[in-house]
Amino acid sequence: VKSILQLLANADLRLTKVRKDILSIFIEANHAITTHDIEKYFEYLDRITLYRTLKSFEEKGLIHKIIDFQGNASYALCTHECNEHKHHDEHLHFKCDDCGTTYCIEDAKIPHINLPVGYSIKQARLMVNGKCNKC
């Protein structure tokens, strides 16, 4: 795992307390987290700063957004393949019905999809729900 300093430097972002704090939660968690989770950790954070920070992390290829079947968003740390030009998070996302946790299953890649002539894919997402190995 890369250090917070390395991650921010690679993303061309200056080190600030907010960025460091938010990134540390992502590094500690081995699953996706919601804005609600982050707000619970840091009471000093206002929503605007939080959303702005997440947006810049997403734009710089540090985290990716996951939308579940209910339309709720969570965010997870990207792999080293992502950068500010392109995300490469074409893996399965698993949401547990019991604990509500969303996981990146990086070993499960989105399968190749055959489309009729004339169609091209810009982005593909794969989301499943069920029971995780901790429940």
Q: Is 135 in the site for Zn ion (CB under 5 A)?
A: yes
- Pull the structure tokens for residue 101: 């946790």
* Whole-number Å distance between alpha carbons of 52 and 58: 10
Q: Which stretch binds Zn ion (CB under 5 A): 2-10, 20-28, 38-46, 82-90?
A: 82-90
Q: Is 76 in the site for Zn ion (CB under 5 A)?
A: yes
Q: Is 105 in the site for Zn ion (CB under 5 A)?
A: no
Closer by beta carbon to Zn ion, 43 or else 107: 107
Q: Which stretch binds Zn ion (CB under 5 A): 18-26, 36-44, 45-53, 68-76?
A: 68-76
Subset of residues 108 to 127 that bind Zn ion, contact rule: CB under 5 A: none
Q: Which stretch binds Zn ion (CB under 5 A): 3-11, 21-29, 34-42, 102-110?
A: 102-110
Q: Is 132 in the site for Zn ion (CB under 5 A)?
A: yes
- One DSSP character per residue, the chain reads ---HHHHHHHTT----HHHHHHHHHHHH-SS-B-HHHHHHH-TT--HHHHHHHHHHHHHTTSEEEEE-TTS-EEEEE--TT--SS-----EEEEEETTT--EEEEEEEEPPP----TT---S---EEEEE--TT-
Binding site for Zn ion (CB under 5 A): 64, 76, 78, 82, 87, 89, 96, 98-99, 104, 132, 135
